Amino acid sequence: MRSGNRLGIREALTRRALPRIPYPVSRIPCPVSRVHMEDNGTRKVVCGVIGAGWWGTYAHLPALISHPRAKLVAIQTRDRDSAAKIARDFNIPRTFTSADELIAQEDLEAVVISSVPHLHFPQAMAALRRGLHVLVEKPMTFTAAEACELVELAQANKRQLLACFPWHHTRHGQEARRLIAQRELGEVRMISVLMTNPVDHLIRGAATFPTHGRPYIEPQAETYSDPAVAGGGQIYTQVAHVAGYLTFLTGARAAQVFARFHNDGCRLDIFDVLNVELENGCIASIASTGATPLENRLYEVRIYGTKACLFMELWSGTMTVMRRDGGGETRYPDLTPSEIFPERAPAQNLVDSILGLATAVSPGALGLASMEVVEAACASARTGQNIRLRESPR
């Protein structure tokens, strides 16, 4: 990408039309002291992005630039020259190498935290203490206790705290959640998930090329391969998605977790298998690996209820409901390629939720639910024990 093409990137991003989901209206007030009004009277949310790396430049910068009610004014990345180049290319006025300096900006109302995983918690805590609304990339934190601290602080300060789970924003995800909530599947008894994505080269530190979209820059090797930075391998990188999705769909948190990992000669886990019992008594299995061909990555979600079964393939964008009484099946329209993984939706939903135009699709509580499963799975794989988080009705 040419550094001289400053406005071309922004104009292209603004013109790209993506489907918007009509979320319910938010009830959390914005911090009045930081409200920004344009000369024409339009209210805009002034935003910054911490960690303008691979995913920050691919998903979050374009999301905020293309949102008509967002005003992206600042980015942070550790390298000063890289920050300056990104700012030129995306036409962003302020750059910082320190997250604290960005957070201290007086006019900021919200930040997206897309830094390396081990910095998510301290940076999100600093932003919330500053009175900012926050979107945090997954994994939201390293531990469930850290995630709980963030959720409680956001609630106490009446600020939006969102976790970054793009699959929650699809038409199929929203409809599946509605069907479960309205008992159209009956009581959900079992969920089976197979989730593969070819990222094992990142976890092994063997290469840094991404497997999604055309990146502006490539990720740094230690982001995924250094245990002190990444937290874990497949469990933190990919299973965190699935763990959050279980609670998103069912509204139930994990009660018990039993897990086995295989590192396949790597410092971090490459193959993961989890058995999870949810607090509503539903049992779930999760199998996930990054060691798979790009041409055959899978995200199969099979939900078995007492009245009907729901089958989704998230990478293919398909969804079918089959009734158990022989009443036939319902095949939902396939998602378009741009809908399958709506990477811009989380940051745009942050803006909408601050403005009161929508509720948070993936509130911090879902990030906490995800971290409970991730942390319990790591403990189970390490000790060989079943980890009980809370009671279940069975």
pLDDT digits (tens, 9 = 90+) for 297-314: 999 999 999 999 999 999
Nearest to 342 by CA among 133, 172, 120: 172
What's the number of CA atoms in the CB half-sphere (13 Å) around residue 84? Answer: 3
Note the residue count of the chain.
Answer: 394
The pLDDT assigned to 393 comes to 79
Task: Report the C-alpha gap between 350 and 128 in whole angstroms.
Answer: 14
Enter the tokens of residue 184: 């159209």
Name the region of 61 (left: φ>0; alpha: ψ -120 to 50; beta: rest): alpha
Confidence of residue 101 (pLDDT cuts 50, 70, 90): very high
Confidence check: pLDDT of 26 > 80: no
The pLDDT assigned to 28 comes to 45
Confidence of residue 294 (pLDDT cuts 50, 70, 90): confident
**Start-end of CATH 3.30.360.10 domains in the chain:** 168-340+361-388
CATH of 6-165, one of 2.40.50.140, 3.40.50.1860, 3.40.50.2000, 3.40.50.720: 3.40.50.720
Residues 268-292: tens digit of each pLDDT: 999 999 999 999 999 999 999 999 9
Enter the tokens of residue 1: 């990408």
Give bridge partners of residue 277 from the DSSP assignment: 256, 283
Confidence check: pLDDT of 109 > 80: yes
Whether the CB-CB separation of 27 and 55 falls below 8 Å is answered with no
- The type of residue at 239 is V
Write down the mean pLDDT value for the chain. 91
Enter the tokens of residue 126: 């600093």
Secondary-structure class of domain 168-340+361-388 per CATH: alpha beta
Cβ-based neighbours of 329, under 8 Å, separated by 6 or more: 320, 321, 322, 323
Confidence of residue 295 (pLDDT cuts 50, 70, 90): confident
3-class DSSP state for residue 117?
Answer: helix
Over range 6-34, report the average pLDDT: 42
Confidence check: pLDDT of 19 > 70: no
Whether the CB-CB separation of 259 and 275 falls below 8 Å is answered with yes
**Start-end of CATH 3.40.50.720 domains in the chain:** 6-165
